[in-house]
Structure 1
Amino acid sequence: MTARYPSLRRRLPAASLTLSLLLAIAATPAAANEAAADTAADAATSTADEGAATQGSYGGDIVVTARRRQETAQDVPIAMSVVAGEQIDNTGSFNVGRLTQLTPTLQYYSSNPRNTAVNIRGIGAPFGLTNDGIEQGVGIYVDDVYYSRVASSTFDFLDVAQIEVLRGPQGTLYGKNTTAGAINITTNQPTFDFEGKAELSIGNLNFKQAKAAISGPLSDTLAARVAISSTSRRGTIRNVATDRWVQSQDNIGVRGQLLWQPNDDLSVTLSGDWNKQDAVCCASVFVRTGATQRPLNRQYAALAAAQNYVVPSDNPYDRLTDLDANLNAGNKIGGAALRVKWDVGPGTLTSVTAWRFWDWQPENDRDFTGLPIVTKSQNPSQQDQYTQELRYNYTGDRFDFVVGGFYYYQRIDTQGTEAHGPASSRWTLNPTSALANNPAVLNGLTAINTQYLKNTSAALFGQASWKVTDQFTIQPGVRLNYDKKDGFYQRRVFAGDGTPVVFGPTDAITVARLGVFAPQEISPSFSDWNFSYDLTATYKATSDLLFYATYAKTFKSGGINQNGVPTDGANNPILAAATVKPESVNHLEAGVKSEFWDRRITFNLTAFRTDIKNYQANVNNGQFGVLRGYLANAGKVRTQGVEVDFSVRPSERFRAYANGAFTDAKYKRFVDAPCPPELSGGGTGAVIAAPGTPGNSPANCDISGQRLPGVSKLALSFGAEANTESKLFGKDGQFYLGYDGSYRSRFSSNPSPSAYTWIEGYSLSNFRAGFRTESGFDVYGWVRNAFNQNYLEQLSVGPGNTGLIVGLPGDPRTWGGTIKASF
């Protein structure tokens, strides 16, 4: 378990609050999902006044709900990171992407909100274009509501009390979509005491962020809370074609809650939220080229020279692009939820009913150049999601259990338009063909895609804890799940004059057009039953020393290919590729949680191994529009490693933390993987050319034993804060100085490791310094990426096997100031 240091202020839980105050707040409904009268919460509150020597560094008194009930974090046999709400604010970690700097095992990649992947320990979602027909492997939950769209991770956190990042499979309690872990977010809840807070930040790059929340009673039994957040920032990449900054931020969100509590046994919470992004996004920059097996006249250098095209800069850190197609990333998400908690008999019955929507309005430039090759690429989507969870929690002296049921329904509709422009013929077709010199062949060629997905899931689950002795506990869990997915995909193709392009005619122009966009229609369907189970044994050697070991057998639901499938020699869809088998997961984990030096030091150690059979991998075809990408099952994947979480608080004046993860994530068996660019683009003969040499290319490649994309072998986070009591303008308070750093080693940025797509390791440093008072006033300055480290977040292989490699540079140095007040 990792938790960030709270401050020494005793009013709100924060990155810089004293632990005693954090615990008191965490023990109320504002920081947890269960009743405030819970025994663990009472214990945490009573501990808060006992002094630094008995409070714990950040460990045993932090209340979490990882097992759907309130417990202290050091008593939960799960590897987790716990980040308090104000730590998120103070470190600028206002979305999942920035949270990765505080949690080493969490990986986040996003070329745009839809094409976002959130992984833990290197697994979770395939690396590359998102396919709606599969589940994410990391479940995101906000106040018990499952957020199925990973695009939600790109939005700002809104009025968050605490985030728990649970590592490893959580399938029995959090569902079949959590084979890698879960992000459990708890927001601040309505209170019957009037309170409020406001925060304003400004910085370079025209950064502006404002947050506010107010809570209080409407009557003796009714309370309300409203929160709002707004973030805007100029982009970090300059588009010289439009004279406009891109990769900007423009987020706004609002959340409202009503709590009805007629008595101590019943509480009903109605919540609603609405969030919008309207950024100028998303762009890439030229990074390099790499030799492929295409003929030299069909590789990037020759193709660009043929049209007198020169990139605005070959240095990615100049942050220049010249993309000529419209860019947009309009993104709306929201919903409503009703949570009922009723103390019935010896336990608590909880019902969570929710509806969520997602509206995605993108525009992209899929050729990654300033030439009018692909002039339009739009795949807007709309989603409606309905969930119902019912569970019963019982806590006894020797026996605890959670039992429940879950129902989920999702409908996604997508309407796609892709079109080519006047530069496409010369770029896309063989330069030796006369057609390549005729812009009309591909100019205006358009594909219209229509698709929908109906996704239904139902489950029964249960988890029990049997305290065999005062020290030894066993915890079995089970989940029975049914999944059904029905999809539809249709692609119609039209020439520039509106004439349909269909199979049948054999003239050269039609054949050339079909080589770019091919019509297809499929209706894939998948259904299956699955059974998950896990068993955890816990040994509490002393009050501050816990050993545990876990075995889990779980799965990730099978899926369907929603972006089309490959075709056979007669151009018929290969329907066997329309469905993807479920992932079968075997997981072993062992750990120790400990506290020393009168609980001033927390030291947790975890070792794990996860084997996944039928790993769901993304396969990209390499052409512009024949097939954007489809899913296939790799034979076997293994991720294993060791994680260490350490924190120390020798006094109220100083605290520090250091967390690390060594992760060895590999394809154990993947013999028919897509080939990297250096082994792609050539002919189909029997004699294969050397990598990067024009000639014949293999149909597929054996990448068994190679690294999974996106995961570093070594990842670290570390930091410290020191403070001193003082006065400012006659107000008693503390001056403080804080530092948060992170490091990750090199990692692959392509599903099949390529010499051209390794991202070198880098380290980031963030500083903050300010003054705070016990009354809730806090003012500080901050600088992020203080040493202006140049680094790449992601690399992508350009379409068509031309050897083009583009990337997304990480944020440069940013700085600013924040002022906060609460009452």
Structure 2
Amino acid sequence: MKFKAVLLVSAALLPLATFVVEPARAAAAPAADVKEPDAVAAPIATDAADGAAAADEVVVTARRRTENVQDVPIAISVLSGKTLDAQGTYNIGRLTQLQPTLQFYSQNPRNTFINIRGIGAPFGLTNDGFEQGVGIYIDDVYYNRIASATLDFVDVERIETLRGPQGTLYGKNTTAGAINITTRAPSFDFEARGEASFGNLNFKQAKASISGPLSENVAARISVTGTSRRGTLFDTAQSEWIQSQDSIGIRGSILWRATPSVNVTLSGDFNLQDPICCAFAYGGYGPTQRPANRQYPALISYFPGYQVPSTNPYDRLTDADAPLAARNEHGGLSARVVWDLSDRDTLTSITAWRYWDWAPGNDRDYTGLPVYVKVNNPTKQNQYTQEFRFNHQSDRIGFTAGLFAFHQDIHTSGIQQTGTAASKWLLSPTSALSNNPAVLDNVTAVNDIRLNNTSLAAYAKVNWTIVEGLTLSPGVRVNYDRKKGLYDSVVTGTASDGTRQIVSPVPGSPYYNDPWTAAQRGIQASQFFEPRFSAWNVSYDLNLSYKVAPDVNLYATYARAFKTGGINLNGVPADANGAPILAASTIKPEKVDHFEAGLKTQFWDRRATFNLTGFWTEIRDFQANVTNGQFGTVRGYLANAQKVRSRGIEADFSIRPSERFSAYASGAYTDAKYTKFVDAPCPPELSGGTTVTGNQQPGAPGVPGALSPANCNVSGQVLPGVSKWAGSWGAEANVPGGLFDQDGQFYVGYDASYRSKWSSNPSPSIYTWVKGYSLHNFRAGFRTAKFDVYGWVRNAFDRNYIDLLLAGTGGNTGLIAAQVGDPRTWGGTIKLTF
């Protein structure tokens, strides 16, 4: 129904455009010289997919002013809306096929992680109390939660990916980089465009936009997009396809030329994804140190008649028996005021409110058995931001100074509930209680989790041209962060006398010694605490660039950055009396030292571009998932690893010898490791057994019944989620021709990506290495200035590959769950421009 509504809106917009375009052009003429807010960039004509002649420059606003991307002395990648459309990149997740150093992982919209060069967010752990290391901005508005940025792109002009710390340039502090998305601005010339795509798996996608003047000084734009696709994973328990796509997005903006020097842009958007999602397929079994009678092969044998649908994940079968949902609604309003104080000075104000409403349904035991029948954490967020930015540009000095305020309220009202299979699955089979389904059936945790998060900052960046071609750019940022949280989990279960009782961790509490309650307490117990964190931080950077020749630019950067501290909102270890250990409730800020040097050059009359970057980033107190016994207990929670390091080399090359051919290639070598992490969570093969004490030595990995270490030293091992080698490449060729009495171009395009193997577990495990793979996409069609018709095939060779591997329920049963990548998809697209 949602997709049909989008099609109706699209169909309504396009005839309206054709009706009003010609009569209204005269009205638009007086305002044709209006200055777009913050100098909206010209179309990027150097992308391989654009099919145009070589252009002199790609214009961006990544540093809050308009400049040639080759003059920007930082590592930055730019993709135009045309390239995104041509390659079928309609959300952030698909950017990874075009950006080798960008990593994106998503179990569902809430459990989504974006990293650059292997750093940015703790892998595999959802916790509202920490910040992202990669900032996402859409039209200058900061999106705090990655889940609220998993929207389909709506009328995008370009995407800039900046790598490395950006705290002295952007409103919110970011230690790993920033993704800066710019949508198309309202136009004072009437324009309209529409697009429809159809493909296998019942893929349907529609996009439409219309823009033009409402008066001499007011212009407006409205855009709408919708996507639907059948799922790629068949759920035998529910007899339906899951991992589907079902989304709509609407964005509107009004540009008011209040005076010749003041422009005001009001924007609003609404986005909804409501797929049947998300579950995992069976990915394999890897023996742990748990007793053999408590590992996966034995556990499923306790349920006669149960059999996993397939032991081959590429059969794309699962048996999720709990209701699935991934409803992700978000939107907001913003006001952007740009005041040209003079030819050299500009004052910008950006005021924004955003909301996020997450309504999930999960099956977190990764089996068709009723172990967990509910593990759902519905979340609501409201976010408010205010940024003031002053830009000055003169012949020798340019600078940006800003003030940024951010406030966020998050409320999660979660539930976790076990089912009739929980006793056999979660309790030792040597206990008589494991044969009684009633012991753990309907053990319910009702969670009330709240976060009040405030951040204030002042930042400045100066560009001083010392002599012609030599520019020194220091920057500084002062930040204050305050977080107040609440974690209140009330666990209830059925006691042995048949009454419902609170499962309390406090010795001496009612029913504490009841055998049923004691068994339930071993699975989950009630907990309440109110963590607090506040701190000031100062960060700074220094950049030196030297233009050796008009098209050769050298640069070097040092940055001292930080990622703000946080609070644990998923529970913390408890002491011997059952009280939460508050020392574990807060997380130290990350301290970042970043070094980078690069070369940017163009040659052959700017038909060819080659950029090279080397980087070295060290982070102390890296925020990570930790398991240790320092508080007298062993439990996983968010804490600090001592030190990590990411270093590597990135190269980009593009060439356009003529209007008829273009090609590109990008590659990255990334060496991202834990420099020192002595109390990391152990991988599955070193977990599940009796924890060593005193002088005892851990047993061999993967041997059932062996002793297990309390924690593991993973110093020198790789960070999760990042491949050592990654690359993307492609080309497009065209020839002039005619079709339907229209002159245009016939064209063919090819795009591909590769990444080497990577670890899919916070601590590298022999069971969760994802094999390297390459993907190849093709497209061919005919285009004119008015329309573009083409066919496409993605993952053309139907390569089987894995997006994510996870250790199953409990982490040490040996079950490995797999998220399988998309199979080959194909279809056709038609675009119309008026």
The question of 1:581 aligning with 2:588 is answered yes
Partner of 2:5: none
- CA deviation vs aligned residue, 1:763-787 (integer Å, no higher than 9, x gap): 000000000012x200000000000
- Which of these residues, 308, 324, 327, is aligned with residue 327 of structure 1? 324
Q: Could you tell me how far apart the structure 2 residues matched to 1:210 and 1:362 are?
A: 26
Shift of 1:567: 1.4
Shift of 1:72: 0.8
Q: Could you tell me how far apart the structure 2 residues matched to 1:630 and 1:29 are?
A: 57
Change (3 A) 1:288 1:94: same
The question of 1:245 aligning with 2:257 is answered no
Shift of 1:129: 2.3
Q: Could you tell me how far apart the structure 2 residues matched to 1:557 and 1:288 are?
A: 38
Query: Residue 438 of structure 2 aligns to a residue in which SS?
Result: helix
Query: Residue 384 of structure 1 aligns to a residue in which SS?
Result: strand
The question of 1:214 aligning with 2:175 is answered no
Shift of 1:184: 0.3
Question: How do 1:115-154 residues align onto structure 2 when only pairs under 5 Å count?
Answer: 115-154=111-150
Amino acid at match of 2:585: A
Partner of 1:284: 280
Deviates more, 1:584-593 or 1:84-93: 84-93
Q: Could you tell me how far apart the structure 1 residues matched to 2:805 and 2:334 are?
A: 38
- Which of these residues, 35, 40, 52, is aligned with residue 39 of structure 2? 35
Change (3 A) 1:736 1:621: farther
Partner of 2:392: 394
Partner of 1:479: 477
Q: Could you tell me how far apart the structure 1 residues matched to 2:272 and 2:452 are?
A: 25
- The sequence identity of aligned pairs, in percent, is 61
Change (3 A) 1:620 1:803: farther
Q: Could you tell me how far apart the structure 1 residues matched to 2:138 and 2:36 are?
A: 11
The question of 1:337 aligning with 2:337 is answered no
- Alpha carbons 1:565, 1:627 under 8 Å: kept: no
Partner of 1:677: 684
Partner of 1:662: 669
Q: Could you tell me how far apart the structure 2 residues matched to 1:433 and 1:618 are?
A: 31
Partner of 1:703: 714
Q: Could you tell me how far apart the structure 1 residues matched to 2:528 and 2:714 are?
A: 32
Shift of 1:262: 3.1
Query: Residue 100 of structure 1 aligns to a residue in which SS?
Result: helix
- CA deviation vs aligned residue, 1:355-384 (integer Å, no higher than 9, x gap): 000000001011110000001111000000
Partner of 2:754: 743
Change (3 A) 1:30 1:178: farther
Partner of 1:733: 744
Q: Could you tell me how far apart the structure 2 residues matched to 1:29 and 1:691 are?
A: 70
Partner of 1:377: 375
- Equivalent pairs counted in the alignment come to 779
Q: Could you tell me how far apart the structure 1 residues matched to 2:642 and 2:531 are?
A: 22
The question of 1:444 aligning with 2:446 is answered no
Amino acid at match of 2:297: A
Q: Could you tell me how far apart the structure 1 residues matched to 2:336 and 2:648 are?
A: 38
Change (3 A) 1:117 1:190: same
Q: Could you tell me how far apart the structure 2 residues matched to 1:751 and 1:251 are?
A: 31
Partner of 1:193: 189
Q: Could you tell me how far apart the structure 2 residues matched to 1:286 and 1:628 are?
A: 26
The question of 1:591 aligning with 2:629 is answered no
TM-score, length basis structure 1: 0.93
Deviates more, 1:545-554 or 1:148-157: 148-157
- Which of these residues, 786, 804, 807, is aligned with residue 815 of structure 2? 804
Amino acid at match of 1:99: L
Deviates more, 1:560-569 or 1:223-232: 560-569
Query: Residue 151 of structure 1 aligns to a residue in which SS?
Result: helix
Amino acid at match of 1:243: S
Change (3 A) 1:728 1:620: farther
Amino acid at match of 2:736: E
Q: Could you tell me how far apart the structure 1 residues matched to 2:53 and 2:475 are?
A: 30
The question of 1:105 aligning with 2:105 is answered no
Q: Could you tell me how far apart the structure 1 residues matched to 2:423 and 2:488 are?
A: 25
Question: How do 1:525-536 residues align onto structure 2 when only pairs under 5 Å count?
Answer: 525-536=532-543
Question: How do 1:506-585 residues align onto structure 2 when only pairs under 5 Å count?
Answer: 506-585=513-592
Partner of 2:502: 500
Amino acid at match of 1:502: S
Q: Could you tell me how far apart the structure 1 residues matched to 2:669 and 2:649 are?
A: 5
Partner of 2:463: 465
Q: Could you tell me how far apart the structure 2 residues matched to 1:746 and 1:176 are?
A: 33
Shift of 1:31: 12
Q: Could you tell me how far apart the structure 1 residues matched to 2:686 and 2:663 are?
A: 48
- Alpha carbons 1:237, 1:320 under 8 Å: kept: yes
Query: Residue 515 of structure 1 aligns to a residue in which SS?
Result: helix
Deviates more, 1:756-765 or 1:143-152: 143-152
Partner of 1:11: none
Amino acid at match of 2:146: V
Shift of 1:687: 2.8
Partner of 1:12: none
Shift of 1:303: 0.7
Amino acid at match of 1:339: R
Q: Could you tell me how far apart the structure 1 residues matched to 2:464 and 2:201 are?
A: 55
Shift of 1:217: 0.4
- Alpha carbons 2:612, 2:651 under 8 Å: kept: yes
Q: Could you tell me how far apart the structure 2 residues matched to 1:185 and 1:720 are?
A: 24
Partner of 2:16: none
Deviates more, 1:754-763 or 1:144-153: 144-153
- Which of these residues, 792, 812, 822, is aligned with residue 782 of structure 1? 792
Query: Residue 697 of structure 2 aligns to a residue in which SS?
Result: strand
Amino acid at match of 1:545: V
Partner of 2:22: none
Amino acid at match of 1:490: D
Change (3 A) 1:380 1:158: same
- CA deviation vs aligned residue, 1:528-556 (integer Å, no higher than 9, x gap): 00001000000001110000000000100
Change (3 A) 1:29 1:767: farther
Q: Could you tell me how far apart the structure 1 residues matched to 2:141 and 2:814 are?
A: 43
Change (3 A) 1:789 1:611: same
Query: Residue 160 of structure 2 aligns to a residue in which SS?
Result: strand
Query: Residue 82 of structure 2 aligns to a residue in which SS?
Result: helix
- CA deviation vs aligned residue, 1:252-274 (integer Å, no higher than 9, x gap): 01001011003331100000000
Query: Residue 799 of structure 1 aligns to a residue in which SS?
Result: coil
Shift of 1:627: 10
Q: Could you tell me how far apart the structure 2 residues matched to 1:211 and 1:273 are?
A: 15
- Alpha carbons 2:628, 2:710 under 8 Å: kept: no
Amino acid at match of 1:572: A
Shift of 1:621: 9.7
Shift of 1:32: 7.9
CA-based RMSD of the aligned residues comes to 1.9
- Alpha carbons 2:612, 2:652 under 8 Å: kept: yes
Shift of 1:404: 1.1
Shift of 1:130: 1.6
Amino acid at match of 2:533: F
Partner of 1:310: 307
Shift of 1:628: 9.3
Query: Residue 268 of structure 2 aligns to a residue in which SS?
Result: strand
- Alpha carbons 1:56, 1:595 under 8 Å: kept: no
Query: Residue 351 of structure 1 aligns to a residue in which SS?
Result: strand
Q: Could you tell me how far apart the structure 1 residues matched to 2:301 and 2:362 are?
A: 24
Shift of 1:30: 12
- Alpha carbons 2:362, 2:374 under 8 Å: kept: yes
The question of 1:631 aligning with 2:633 is answered no
The question of 1:759 aligning with 2:770 is answered yes
Shift of 1:512: 0.3
Change (3 A) 1:324 1:154: same
Show structure 1 runs of 5+ residues with no match.
Answer: 1-27, 50-54
Shift of 1:154: 2.1
Q: Could you tell me how far apart the structure 1 residues matched to 2:769 and 2:524 are?
A: 31
Amino acid at match of 2:381: Q
Amino acid at match of 1:113: P
Partner of 1:365: 363
Deviates more, 1:629-638 or 1:110-119: 629-638
- CA deviation vs aligned residue, 1:588-627 (integer Å, no higher than 9, x gap): 00000000111111000000000000000024799xxx99
TM-score, length basis structure 2: 0.91
Q: Could you tell me how far apart the structure 1 residues matched to 2:585 and 2:34 are?
A: 46
